[in-house]
Structure 1
Amino acid sequence: MDVPPPISVIVVNFNAGKLLTECVRSVLASTAPVETLVVDNRSTDNSLDTLRQAFAENERLKIIENPENLGFAKANNIALPLAQCDYILFLNPDCLIRPDTLARMLAVMEKHPQAGMAGCLIRNPDGSEQAGCRRAVPTPWRTFVRLMGLYKFSKYHPKLNSFIQTDTPLPREPVAIEAISGAFMLVRRSALEKVGPLDEGYFMHCEDLDWCMRFRQAGFEILFVPNVEILHVGGVCSTSRPALVEY
């Protein structure tokens, strides 16, 4: 059996509590060789202390502490110079992956050299598909269709399709789509170097959509892999601003 290539996993934390430790635990249990970089945006809870107690001697874990909350995009970009591998996974701290998740995702990327990044099927705690894991870019028309509920009539006309694609059947194999979720983005380093890092003009939310658009504009595919699943508790680092997040 081929050994999967090593992968750098970047996790940005802001008050994720015990979930941060469980997230890192799931990453370090991967069958693929990994290094994990946790970037903390000046958390005020015990998430970092709990993480250090659990993995004090683990050389595959590096912790970067920012002096203030720099936002999602900038915190991820800070870790990039320290990431050593040809593939980089950007993972939310409230996500849990399986031991074979990374190996299977890397195998897909190796078979699709035109893919710049890939995402997988993201499940909510109740087992439902999370809305953002496969989507189209929310143009003004698509947003209007979603807000007005017109997507319920999409079977009558394709222009009534929503930018959220959870209402459509899952594909049977990896497919190219317009955008994936920033909760789980597996990125090919060579593609990232051509496209550039995340846009730090976004503090939190929408930077993943922007990045997907830039990757596609540069000629790379964005893959959605339906037969690889992870769990995303969701919203742990955004609970202080739920109304703004929804907006």
Structure 2
Amino acid sequence: MKVVSIITVNFNQPLVTELLIKSIHEKCRYPALEILVIDNGSRVNPVPDWILQYPEIQFIRSDKNLGFAGGNNLGIRQATGDYLFLVNNDTEFTENLVEWMVEEMEQKPNIGLLSPRINYFDQPTMIQYAGYTPMNYYTARNACIGQFEEDKGQYDHVSGPTAYAHGAAMMIRRAALEKAGPMAENYFLYYEELDWAERIRRAGYDVHVHLKPLIYHKESVSVGKQTALKEYFMNRNRILFIRRNTSTGTFLIFLFYFLFLVAPRNLISYVVGGHSEFIPVFLRAVTWHISHDTESEDLGYTLP
């Protein structure tokens, strides 16, 4: 039987992480399982208490926040599974989630990365994710399939290729991981799982959804609060993703679109919305690309 490594990252949310662990214990009956929990530089280190509370789980502590990719990569490096199932700590498992995903991976060896159906935890009959449409590389825009639809079972039997996996729940085949490598840590936050999917495809594997299995995600249905950190990395990484994954010609077309349509729109929205403090943050996100290459580990942002 193939071993599955469940990997999740905690950052200042110990109770949320404990609820995930509880759901895994209650819902997951897959016998060949290891669980790795990474604490990503939380202000209060929960690992000593967790070791006593959950002796069957492997805990890894980072003294600083390494971001989404960096935190998960700590777990990836320690995991021993044939399949690695990366899940957000604010998710909750359902029955047969792991079993059905492993079955799909076993039946289709071309799959490198696989995501299940994701519904909102607070509104369990509302879909968050049933796949992604392909990226328009000239605008860096795509769409999430099924989002905000009422779940009437319309996707229960859907399985097959999708443009991108969802970072809240994605299973990678070890062979694909060994060829494509781990996630790029210089994204820190946002777009890293999209970049990973691109590299996994270039390594010769497919990215699929299998929507019979379901996981719940506690992300709010409403748009999250704007923060300087979010504005910086969303804009910097949107450009970084296109730089890393398209030709020079395509990037130049995207850059024209971004500078002459997206930038003015964003700057006006900051002023109108009373967030003029985001203007220098946005400008720093854009100008980072003048002095940094696509592999630079300098985030250009001082983390709180």
TM-score, normalised on structure 1? 0.79
CA shift for structure 1 position 142: 6.2
Find the aligned partners of 1:203 and 1:241 in 2 and give their Cα distance: 17
Find the aligned partners of 1:143 and 1:190 in 2 and give their Cα distance: 29
SS at match of 2:143: coil
| Residue in structure 2 matching 1:94, options 74, 90, 102 | 90
Are the counterparts in 2 of residues 10 and 37 from structure 1 also a CA contact under 8 Å? yes
1:95-133, CA deviations, whole angstroms, 9 ceiling, x for partnerless residues?
A: 1112421011101110000000110000002121114x5
TM-score, normalised on structure 2? 0.65
Query: Unmatched 5+ residue regions in structure 2?
Result: 235-304
SS at match of 1:201: helix
Q: Which moved more, 1:206-215 or 1:41-50?
A: 41-50
Instruction: Quote the residue 1:136 is aligned against.
Output: 133
Find the aligned partners of 2:22 and 2:78 in 1 and give their Cα distance: 20
Are the counterparts in 1 of residues 135 and 163 from structure 2 also a CA contact under 8 Å? no
Count matched residues.
Answer: 220
Instruction: Quote the residue 1:183 is aligned against.
Output: 168
| Residue in structure 2 matching 1:165, options 139, 145, 153 | 145
Superposed counterparts of 1:145-224, under 5 Å: 162-166=142-146, 170=155, 172-224=157-209
1:129 and 1:143, CA in 2 relative to 1: closer, same or farther beyond 3 A? farther
1:141-179, CA deviations, whole angstroms, 9 ceiling, x for partnerless residues?
A: 5656xxxxxxxxxxxxxxxxx522226963733111110
Q: Of the two, which has the highest radius of gyration? A: 2
Between the aligned residues of both structures, percent identity stands at 28
Are the counterparts in 2 of residues 17 and 46 from structure 1 also a CA contact under 8 Å? no
Instruction: Quote the residue 2:68 is aligned against.
Output: 72
CA shift for structure 1 position 242: 5.0
Superposed counterparts of 1:4-15, under 5 Å: 4-15=1-12
Find the aligned partners of 1:41 and 1:240 in 2 and give their Cα distance: 22
Instruction: Quote the residue 1:104 is aligned against.
Output: 100
Find the aligned partners of 1:187 and 1:49 in 2 and give their Cα distance: 29
Larger relative contact order, structure 1 or 2 (CA cutoff 8 Å, min sep 6): 1
Find the aligned partners of 2:225 and 2:12 in 1 and give their Cα distance: 10
1:24 and 2:21 aligned: yes
Find the aligned partners of 1:244 and 1:120 in 2 and give their Cα distance: 29
CA shift for structure 1 position 41: 1.0
Q: Which runs of 4+ in 1 moved over 6 A?
A: none
Are the counterparts in 2 of residues 101 and 229 from structure 1 also a CA contact under 8 Å? yes
1:42 and 2:27 aligned: no
1:6 and 1:81, CA in 2 relative to 1: closer, same or farther beyond 3 A? same
CA shift for structure 1 position 49: 6.6
Find the aligned partners of 1:241 and 1:45 in 2 and give their Cα distance: 25
Find the aligned partners of 1:163 and 1:190 in 2 and give their Cα distance: 29
1:37 and 1:190, CA in 2 relative to 1: closer, same or farther beyond 3 A? same
Find the aligned partners of 1:210 and 1:188 in 2 and give their Cα distance: 17
SS at match of 1:38: strand
| Residue in structure 2 matching 1:114, options 92, 110, 116 | 110
Are the counterparts in 1 of residues 11 and 40 from structure 2 also a CA contact under 8 Å? yes
1:31-51, CA deviations, whole angstroms, 9 ceiling, x for partnerless residues?
A: 112111111111125765774
- If each structure's helix is expressed as a fraction of its own residues, which one has the higher value? 2
CA shift for structure 1 position 240: 7.8
SS at match of 2:157: coil
